[in-house]
Amino acid sequence: MSTFSSSLRPAVVLFAGLTLVVGVIYPYAMTGIGKLAFSDQAEGSLIVREGKTVGSTLIGQSFTSPKYFWGRPSATGPMPNNGNGSSGSNLGPTNPAQIDAVKGRIDALKAADPGNVARIPVDLVTASGSGLDPDISLAAAYYQVGRVARERKLPEATVKALVDQLAKQPFAGLLGEARVNVLELNLTLDKKQ
């Protein structure tokens, strides 16, 4: 019996110590470092206008009005851009449901801008892996410039210049592609008008 109790005490002390370090000290330390070094990101990269939180630069939002730039489709459920339901659709390119969804998105884009004969960028008709992508490629933004400018009664050059102004370039000029945050772009357009 003494062997068991002499073995049990160090195990319990080790368990309690590791629980304290890994379950309490480490999370609080990482949260504190995150808030000090990356305060905006640690707080969710929230966008606040006139004292009201209107969204986050990290999570996409659904815009359906023709006067707004539209983001990537969302595969989250039960509603689009649901942070609690983050996931891709897991539908392959030959899946009939995926083909129907893409066709529906193409039809919606053409209905919103029937005169636009440009090739539709793939990120406007396919969901991202997380289903929450807040950015679109510059090609996707440029595709929508004509519609947005017409709906807002602005010159196309002005809207295109705004896209270029808010564009984020690839990290170190190599990683990723040039993109623009849809929420920031639409908020800037609203502010301009």
Tens of pLDDT along 146-172? 999 999 999 999 999 999 999 999 887
Tens of pLDDT along 25-53? 999 999 999 889 988 778 878 888 888 88
Give the pTM: 0.78
3-state secondary structure 138-166: HHHHHHHHHHHHHHHCCCHHHHHHHHHHH
* Residues 70 and 164 occupy one common structural domain: yes
Residue 142 has pLDDT above 80, yes or no: yes
Q: Which residue has the higher pLDDT, 96 or 76?
A: 96
* Residues 34 and 62 occupy one common structural domain: no
* Residues 79 and 166 occupy one common structural domain: yes
Enclosing domain of residue 111: 45-192
* Residues 23 and 63 occupy one common structural domain: no
* Residues 118 and 86 occupy one common structural domain: yes
Q: Which residue has the higher pLDDT, 33 or 7?
A: 33
* Residues 187 and 171 occupy one common structural domain: yes
* Residues 161 and 85 occupy one common structural domain: yes
Q: What angle do CA 23, 26, 32 make, to 5 degrees?
A: 125
Q: How confident is the model at residue 84 (pLDDT cuts 50, 70, 90)?
A: confident
Q: Nearest to residue 115, comparing CAs of 66, 161, 80?
A: 66
* Residues 17 and 107 occupy one common structural domain: no
pLDDT at 129: 75
* Residues 33 and 111 occupy one common structural domain: no
Number of domains forming the structure of the chain: 2
| Percent of all residues in the chain with a pLDDT value above 90, rounded to a whole number | 53
Q: How many CB atoms lie within 10 A of CB 160?
A: 17
pLDDT at 61: 86
* Residues 63 and 89 occupy one common structural domain: yes
Q: How confident is the model at residue 59 (pLDDT cuts 50, 70, 90)?
A: confident
* Residues 91 and 144 occupy one common structural domain: yes
Q: Nearest to residue 133, comparing CAs of 188, 87, 65, 64?
A: 87
Residue 1 has pLDDT above 60, yes or no: no
